Structure 1
Amino acid sequence: MAALLLIPFFLIRFGLLSALSRDGLRRAAHYPPVEGWERAALWLYQLSTAALLLLILLSRVKAAPPACFRAGGVLYAAGLLLLVLSVAAFAAPSEEGFCQSGIYRLSRNPMYVSYFLLFLGCALLTRSLPLLLCLAVFQLTAHVLIRAEERWCLRTFGAAYARYMGRVRRYL
């Protein structure tokens, strides 16, 4: 049953983050101000997130073909590991007010990368084309929101964030 794949995700994303940081969940749930067509992207992001979770809940893991199963397992495990590293670093923002340490030295958005890897792993483990299509919508709309978040971070954190952007890639 693929629903079991969501248990570690929720335990890390919500349980570990709340255990490591009092305000971590609040900060992680913060959406930047969106403008114009970004509002539609935010709604599509929320709907695609719900669809991803629902499709996983309704799916079954399929062991055949073995190569697909192994690749899905590797991507899923990599997503979980990256999520743990992201949550641990996110729990302790820098003095400037945003995350720059740990995995955030390599990616400005490792949590989003971890979601992509984890859900791609789930799509392969379940061999679900609808899940893969929802993931594509999720990822495209997440990119729009990440750009809005970067705009907000530049306004909020100024030159410190601009220097960070110059040093660290958006994704990988």
Structure 2
Amino acid sequence: MENNSLHIPRQDHAGVYVPPPMIYVVTFFLSIGLQRVAPLPSAWLGTGTAHAARWVIVAIGLLLLLSALWRFAISRNTLITVKPAKSLQTTGVYAFSRNPMYLALLIMFTAIAFFKGNSWTFLMIAPLMFVVQTYVIRKEEQYLQRAFGEEFSRYKGKVRRWL
């Protein structure tokens, strides 16, 4: 028996309900709270090398973030993780990293650690990467595999997740 009913495609998306930038912000404020509760020495952040490094890190992070946002803007793709992607980003900065926005946010997080002068912020980098990798990137990659199939498989085989 043939089914002649009209098939309406389900609106699939990554299922990441917490905006990823919020994960970075919450982690930062958690590091500030930890510094108040259990202070760690941060004198090394006041060195001349640290002051110079923070501006270089900010510039790299901003350049990477703006490049990634530009790719989304010109392709009219969405940044909202609970909406379906219109296209797979594979050119520009996406030819070097599958997740340049998250990498840029991590770089900016590191720069803020230099500006704030908080060792806890540096210690939170690894847990932050774990959460982003587990909660955000894994879900997004599963979605992109469903949505773009072999095209995403080829892309994933050529371009690394972070760098």
TM-score, reference length from structure 1: 0.63
- Within 1, Cα distance between the matches of 2:65 and 2:133? 18
Question: 1:138 offset after TM fit, Å?
Answer: 2.2
Q: 1:131: which partner in 2?
A: 121
Q: Is the 8 A contact 2:27 2:128 kept in 1?
A: no
Structure 2 gaps, min length 5 = 1-11, 33-43, 78-85
Of 51, 58, 62, which aligns to 1:69? 51
Between the aligned residues of both structures, percent identity stands at 30
Deviations 1:21-64 (A, max 9, x none): xxxxxxxxx97237xxxx9xx699855532426878xxxxx983
Structure 1 gaps, min length 5 = 1-29, 57-61
Q: 1:89: which partner in 2?
A: 71
1:121 and 2:97 matched: no
Question: 1:103 offset after TM fit, Å?
Answer: 0.5
Question: 1:134 offset after TM fit, Å?
Answer: 3.7
Distance 1:54 1:108, change over 3 A: same
Distance 1:48 1:108, change over 3 A: closer
Secondary structure, in 3 states, of the residue corresponding to 1:92? helix
- Within 1, Cα distance between the matches of 2:57 and 2:123? 17
Q: Give the 5 Å matches for 1:22-61.
A: 32-33=14-15, 46=22, 49-52=25-28
- Within 1, Cα distance between the matches of 2:45 and 2:117? 9
Distance 1:169 1:43, change over 3 A: closer
1:146 and 2:137 matched: yes
Higher helix share: 1
Opposite residue 50 of structure 2, the aligned amino acid is C
Secondary structure, in 3 states, of the residue corresponding to 1:158? helix
1:170 and 2:161 matched: yes
Distance 1:72 1:49, change over 3 A: same
Question: 1:128 offset after TM fit, Å?
Answer: 0.8
Q: 1:17: which partner in 2?
A: none
TM-score, reference length from structure 2: 0.67
Opposite residue 162 of structure 1, the aligned amino acid is S
Distance 1:47 1:54, change over 3 A: same
Answer with 1 or 2: which has the greater Rg: 2
Secondary structure, in 3 states, of the residue corresponding to 2:46? coil
